[in-house]
Amino acid sequence: MANHQQAAFEQQPMWAGGRSPFNVSYGKLMMWLFLLSDAFTFSSLLVQYGAQRFSNVQTPIVTKWPDPASIFNHFPFMHGLHLPLLFVSVMTFILIMSSVTMVLAVEAGHRKSKKEVVRYMIYTIIGGAMFLGCQAWEWSVFIGEGATLYGNQFGITEAGHKVFGALNFGDHFEWEPEYRTAGPVPFAALFFIVTGFHGFHVFSGVIINVAVTIMAARGAFDRRGHYEMIEKAGLYWHFVDLVWVFVFTFFYLI
């Protein structure tokens, strides 16, 4: 049956209608187009962040954008230590790892191995839940330090000019709150909006993965004869990982 369909498919002229010129199913093509529109949504948010940041370089009137290393320097169970970037790197590792288990589930789906698909999907869901937990912790610390949507107490620090890379050789420790002055207002608001929007994508991705895993475990894809639904959920999940790569670059590294 499949060979007969494949032969009929190959005989159709490519652009004459009646077949996909992209050689993918309708659902997968629509998922790609949704991801393209979602890429534009995220890039508009990140570009807004970039414009705000570039318009807040130090001049006599305008305050400087704070150095992320002096703010996101916490790590669970290591209170009071200055550890910039470490926690975010762990979050990045968790998301990359869950992306790998997702792609292994897709690969197992190509081989129609139900057991492996369910196992790798469960690993992926665990990774997504861990990432969400990390983000909740980071938000709670950030809010605990006084960040709000309407104001920002994270400005340039007195010792800021003594910073080389992220290592501080000055007399003051620039991450200590008492050396902070008020900074540009959109900083905290943009952080909440962009990481919140991404976190919501991760959350919906976890929901989609749970639904797809239950379907796979109950044998819905075996009856259907293909595991394409895992591929579609996988495309969404990898896109979430891709967005995190850029959020990580723009919010924490630059």
Partner 1 sequence: MEFYTKPGEYDAINYIPPAESHGTKELWRTFWILLGITVLDFIIYFVMPHTGFRNFIFIFFGIVKAYYIVGAFMHMKYEKINLALIILVPTVFIIGLVMGLLYEGNALTYAK
Binders in 101-140 for partner 1, by CB under 8 A:
102-104, 106-107, 109-111
Q: Which of 144, 157, 142 is nearest to 189 (CA)?
A: 142
DSSP 229-249: HHHHHHHHHHHHHHHHHHHII
CB of 137 to partner 1, least distance (A): 20
CB of 155 to partner 1, least distance (A): 15
CB of 171 to partner 1, least distance (A): 19
Round to whole Å and give the CA distance between 105 and 229: 11
Give the relative orientation of helices 228-247 and 26-54 as an angle to the nearest 10 degrees.
10
Question: 21: how many CB neighbours lie within 10 A of its CB?
Answer: 12
- Sign of the torsion angle spanned by Cα atoms 100, 106, 107, 111: positive
Of residues 110 and 218, the one with the C-beta less far from partner 1: 110
Of residues 69 and 212, the one with the C-beta less far from partner 1: 69
Selected from 79, 80, 167, 171, the binder of partner 1 by CB under 8 A is: 167
Of residues 188 and 230, the one with the C-beta less far from partner 1: 230
Residue numbers 182-241 binding partner 1 by CB under 8 A: 226-228, 231, 234-235, 238-239, 241
Q: Does residue 245 interact with partner 1 by CB under 8 A?
A: yes
